[in-house]
Chain A
Amino acid sequence: SYAVTQTPSVSVSPGQTATITCSGDKLGDIYVSWYQQKPGQSPVLVIYKDINRPSGIPERFSGSNSGNTATLTITGTQAMDEGDYYCQAWDSSVVVFGGGTKLTVL
């Protein structure tokens, strides 16, 4: 079955750029979505179809997907961006999630 993997943790200083990656075989051939989850809360969609931001998501969130890697970039990271980030793909009618990346804003 298809699988996607993420780096477990990323640390960034406020105002800097955070880069979170998601890897999978030929991942660039399918769409990737990204979710932010804060402690005790439900996941929130922050990027869909690789590059699109839902209404209400700040412009500092952006995405890309090519080859075997999808990337979520947070430009000008703020303390409120701390949380877990999950990538998600859809392959052969099965939804798969990455293991999550814990973003710490130091």
Chain B
Amino acid sequence: QVRLQESGPGLVKPSQTLSLTCTVSGGSISSGNYYWNWIRQPAGKRLEWIGRVDSRGNTYYNPSLKSRVSISEDTPKNQFSLKLASVTAADTAIYYCARAVDDSAYSLDYWGQGTLVTVSS
């Protein structure tokens, strides 16, 4: 059973960088045909895909956030991380990490429990 767990600060000041880590257990992020994703959800709003890293370390980001986002992986620790720069109150959301199958459907089959990040001074 694959499990994902987000971790990181729950409060970030405006203009600073949001940093989160997703720890994966029950499977290796460097093997298999999977994408490892970050997704966020502001309170009462829709899910928004932020970006992904694949098992080969390749990344792809949502064009709307591309200029501020960086996703990286730490294969020895079986973790992948999100950095979002120059945050504002609009970046306040629950942040999820999730796994997607590398096929033509991109179904997100395993999700973390989510972590609330609030941007406030």
Contact = CB atoms under 8 A, between A and B. Distances in A.
The size bracket of the interface on B is 20 to 34
Contacts of A97: 46-49
Contact of A45 (B37, B39, B49, B109): B109
A88 B111 CA distance: 15
Given A43-B108, A54-B109, A95-B37, A86 B46 contact: yes
Q: Chain A at the B interface: mostly helix, strand, loop or mixed?
A: strand
Interface residues of A, number: 22
A99 B111 CA distance: 19
Interface stretch (B70-78, B84-92, B99-107): B99-107
Nearest to A33: B107
B114 A96 contact: no
Contacts, number: 61
B interface SS class: loop
Interface string A69-104: 000000000000000001010100111111110000
Interface string A1-44: 10000000000000000000000000000010101000000111
Contacts of A88: 47, 106-108
Contacts of A33: 105-108
A93 B60 CA distance: 8
B77 to A, nearest CB: 22
Contacts of B100: 95
A42 B105 contact: no
Contact of A94 (B63, B96, B108): B63
B25 interface: no
B33 interface: no
A48 interface: yes
A94 B114 CA distance: 21
A86 B107 contact: no
Contacts of A98: 46
Contacts of B37: 95
